[in-house]
Amino acid sequence: MPDRSRSPGPVLVADAGSSSLHLTAFADDGTVLASRDSASAPGSDVADQLRELLKDAPTPVAVGHRIVHGGPQLRAHTLVDGSVRDRLRFAAELAPLHVPPALAVLDAARDLLPDLPHAACFDTVFHAGLSAAAREYAVPARWRREYGIQRYGFHGLSYAWALARSSGLLTARPEDLQIVIAHLGGGCSACAVRNGHSVDTTMGLTPLEGLVMSRRSGSLDPGALIWLQTRHGFTPRELDDALNHHSGLLALSGTSGDTRDLVRDRAAGDENAALALDVFTHRCRCGIAAMAASLDRLDALVFTGEIGEDQPEIREAVCAGLTTLGLAGDLLVPAGGSEAPAELLSGPGAETPVVLVPTGEARQVALETRRLLSDGWLSPGRTPGGNSP
Task: Give the separation between CA 361 and CA 118, rounded to whole angstroms.
Answer: 17
β-sheet bridge partners, residue 79: 119
Q: What superfamily does domain 171-358 belong to in CATH? A: ATPase, nucleotide binding domain (3.30.420.40)
Do 171-358 and 11-122+362-374 fall under one CATH topology?
yes
What confidence tier does 338 reach under pLDDT thresholds 50, 70, 90? low
Task: Give the separation between CA 57 and CA 54, rounded to whole angstroms.
Answer: 5
48-89 pLDDT tens trace: 999 999 999 999 999 999 999 999 999 999 999 999 999 998
Q: Which of 239, 250, 196 is nearest to 388 (CA)?
A: 196
The arithmetic mean of pLDDT across residues 344-348, rounded, is 93
292's CB contacts (< 8 A; 6+ apart) are 180, 192, 298, 325
Angle between helices 236-245 and 222-232 (to 10 degrees): 130
Residues with a known catalytic role: 123
Angle between helices 259-267 and 312-320 (to 10 degrees): 80
Percent of the chain clearing pLDDT 90 (strictly above) = 85
Q: What is the mean pLDDT of the chain?
A: 92
Q: What backbone torsions phi and psi does residue 255 show, to the nearest 5 degrees?
A: -130, -40
Task: Give the separation between CA 88 and CA 101, rounded to whole angstroms.
Answer: 12
Q: What superfamily does domain 11-122+362-374 belong to in CATH? A: ATPase, nucleotide binding domain (3.30.420.40)
3 state SS for 75-125? CCCEECCHHHHHHHHHHHHHCCCCHHHHHHHHHHHHHHCCCCCEEEEECCH
Domain locations in the chain as residue ranges:
11-122+362-374, 171-358
16-59 pLDDT tens trace: 987 889 999 999 999 999 999 998 878 889 999 999 999 999 99
